Amino acid sequence: MLCKGTACHVNNSDLIEKTIIETLGIHDGETTDDGLFSLKNVACLGCCSLSPVMMINGETYGSLTPDKTKKIINDIRDKECAL
């Protein structure tokens, strides 16, 4: 889930969404072919002080940058592929 609330919006959540789209090749409401990731934009995750924020498998990731977002996604994918 990607927060699109006011605090996240003013802190470039649109850039984070673009990074997710480019990295995973999916848009809002879609799931990757391998089933590991889905993208869902939500109104607020309630973590405004950490904006921009996304949540993956119940874990919240904040203060996102494009590079940090890519690293999180790649680390999760690497971990899942190693299982």
From CA 83, how far away is CA 26, in angstroms rounded?
A: 23
Q: What is the band of 81 on the pLDDT scale with cuts at 50, 70, 90?
A: confident
Q: What is the band of 1 on the pLDDT scale with cuts at 50, 70, 90?
A: very high
pLDDT digits (tens, 9 = 90+) for 49-67: 999 999 999 999 999 999 9
pLDDT digits (tens, 9 = 90+) for 32-47: 999 999 999 999 999 9
Confidence check: pLDDT of 83 > 90? no
Torsion of CA 29, 31, 36, 41, to 10 degrees: -20
Domain 2-82 maps to which CATH number in 3.30.2270.10, 3.30.390.50, 3.40.30.10, 3.30.70.360?
Answer: 3.40.30.10
